[in-house]
Amino acid sequence: MRKNKVDIITLGCSKNLVDSERLISQLRHAGYTVAHDADIPDGEICVVNTCGFIGDAKEESINMILEQGQRKATGQLRRLYVMGCLSERYRSELPAELPEVDGWYGKFDWSQLLADLGHAWEDALTPGRDITTPSHYAYIKISEGCDRQCSYCAIPIITGRHHSRSIEDIVTEVRALVAQGVKEFQLIAQELTFYGVDIYGHRALAKLLEAIASVEGVQWIRMHYAYPADFPWEVVDVMRRHPNVCRYLDIALQHIADPVLTAMRRHITSQQTRDFIERIRREVPGIHLRTTLMVGHPGEDDAAFEELLDFVRWARFERMGAFAYSEEEGTYSAKHFADDIPDALKQTRLSRLMRLQQRISAEIQEQKIGTQMRIIIDRREGDYLIGRTEFDSPEVDPEVLVAVADAPTWEAGEFHDVRITAAADDFDLYAQPITS
């Protein structure tokens, strides 16, 4: 147990990661040594930043708290603190269940943790966070909370209403990170497309995107977690005009059958969804769409599921994830619908959906063989340099492998042109440098 050292363990999404990075910056400024997601935590203080989105995530968070609690019981840890979504949602219940935890903090009051350690929060730190990602890319959280009321989603219960950061504040952060060597930015939020409504009176994502794209040194910008209903099409204009705005959009569609979309309270129809996909592919040729779909929501009968499969065959998403419906207490679905689709059937549908998408993804990746692409190098693994194209977001999308022997001088964070030579079984691509 190392004195004056803090281990921070982050679970869940990249939005949680940004919160951890802000806390890390404050703790280091206060004089602590801080490790993030260490293989073997050895600090005298541990902070677990939890996720509470769905059942599996909650279980993972509880298990991590228990694991660290055991370390405390055996004298390997002095203090254990918990923050994040799970803590926010179950603050009244968890302390009695887990008395080994010394302090509970939610999504918005975790700055109090520093005060409880005897230190003042420093607002003047710039950029106010120590990134834990490779030094050439970072996540930028542009807002918190969500005003949508999708039937299945507990996020509004946890995070509250949508609150945007100002354009000036975000651009200041981007400039500071660029000065530290960051070249690539992933814009994240619970709901990107609602950005600005609460502070500007209108959707301002396009204006924000324009401002960030105009910052010297910003090489790539990628957008995550958009919403299809009332999409701000001005964003597409910015994407076309600025080559550093990646032709990539992460937009969760969830389903396609009208009865299920209605039950989900998605405020969009099947035809409107298809029209959206056709329009964005027409206006941004070559764009890669990432989406998330759900199976097993109450009301999804066999016909609705088959319609979903047909939709995926038609849409041919370049990137797609899926999950099975999990009833979350307090949500509209939990209050108004019976979770009457057996878990076994949900898993069968999920497997069928993902097998279909795997075939589609493999075909799309194989079509890139022989093409020239620009990649950014993330790291070296063994005999290969691992990179990504503008169509690949960190952690979630395929990668591009270049033999070190073919590019011995290339370093992480550099951009290079390559020719795709082959596709791997796991959808990664092999490439060779393009030499003059």
pTM above 0.85, yes or no: yes
Tell me whether strands 245-251 and 288-295 are parallel, antiparallel or unpaired. parallel
pLDDT at residue 123 tops 90: no
pLDDT attached to residue 54: 75
User: Looking at 81-85, 105-109, 203-207, 272-276, which range is the least confident one?
Assistant: 105-109
Closest CA to 105 of 89, 84, 119: 84
Share of the chain above pLDDT 90, in %: 84
pLDDT band at 179 (very low <50, low <70, confident <90, very high): very high
> What is the SS3 assignment for 126?
coil
The torsion defined by the Cα of 67, 73, 77 and 79, in degrees rounded to 10, comes to 90
pLDDT at residue 200 tops 70: yes
pLDDT at residue 8 tops 90: yes
274 CB burial (10 A radius; 0-12, 13-18, 19+): middle
137-141 sheet: strands from edge to edge: 137-141, 184-188, 220-226, 245-251, 288-295, 319-324
pLDDT attached to residue 436: 64
Q: How far is CA 17 from CA 23, 24, 140, 141, in A?
A: 10, 10, 10, 10
pLDDT attached to residue 253: 97
CB atoms within 10 A of CB 225: 22
Q: What is the mean pLDDT of the chain?
A: 94
pLDDT band at 424 (very low <50, low <70, confident <90, very high): confident
- Residue 351 DSSP code: H
pLDDT attached to residue 124: 84
Beta strand residue intervals within 318-427, DSSP E:
319-324, 372-381, 384-388, 400-403, 415-423
Q: What is the mean pLDDT of residues 188-209?
A: 95
Distance CA 9, CA 65 (A): 10
pLDDT at residue 156 tops 90: no
pLDDT attached to residue 43: 93
Dump pLDDT digits (tens) for 282-303. Answer: 999 999 999 999 999 999 999 9
Dump pLDDT digits (tens) for 312-357. Answer: 999 999 999 999 999 998 999 999 999 999 999 999 999 999 999 9
Q: What is the mean pLDDT of residues 151-176?
A: 93
pLDDT at residue 55 tops 80: no
* Count of alpha carbons within 13 angstroms of residue 100, beta-carbon side: 20
pLDDT attached to residue 154: 87
CB atoms within 10 A of CB 277: 20
pLDDT attached to residue 425: 75
Whether 306 and 295 have beta carbons less than 8 Å apart is answered as: no
Closest CA to 255 of 267, 243, 244, 247: 267
